[in-house]
Homo-oligomer: A and B are copies of this chain.
Amino acid sequence: MSIDQFAKDFTAAVREDRADDYTAMWADDIVSCEPGEGPMSRCEGREQLQQKHDWWNANAEVHSFECAGPYVVGDQFAVNYSMDVTMDGERNEFHETAIYTVRDGKIAEERFFYPTGE
């Protein structure tokens, strides 16, 4: 499968919240990185990343969610996410860019870029 088609399939699965489909596209040793030094700023492997998703699903109330992309360059693609989320009783709009790295037909790395207020 071309990376263009892979990127479209992955983004469609995320957009439609088909977790079984997009998690099947993760490499077993996927690395997931966010800004900062928090406990979930770096997850290594499918199990840690699943725990992060479980934490998010238990703590975030998502009122709306939009994806723009994917935009492919070489072995990577970008997706821009916009969401309206309530966490800890506070409702905010949130924008981030995810960069996904594809190796051997799987997502080997995902990295999320967004302002941290620093």
Contact = CB atoms under 8 A, between A and B. Distances in A.
A99 B80 CA distance: 13
A35 B73 contact: yes
Interface stretch (A17-25, A50-58, A83-91, A110-118): A110-118
Nearest to A35: B73
Interface in A4-36: 4, 33-35
A9 to B, nearest CB: 15
A115 B11 CA distance: 14
Q: Chain A, interface size: which category? A: 20 to 34
A78 interface: yes
Contacts of A111: 73-74, 76
A30 to B, nearest CB: 15
A48 interface: no
Nearest to A71: B113
A92 B35 CA distance: 32
- 5 nearest A-B residue pairs (beta carbon): A78-B113, A71-B113, A97-B97, A35-B73, A73-B111
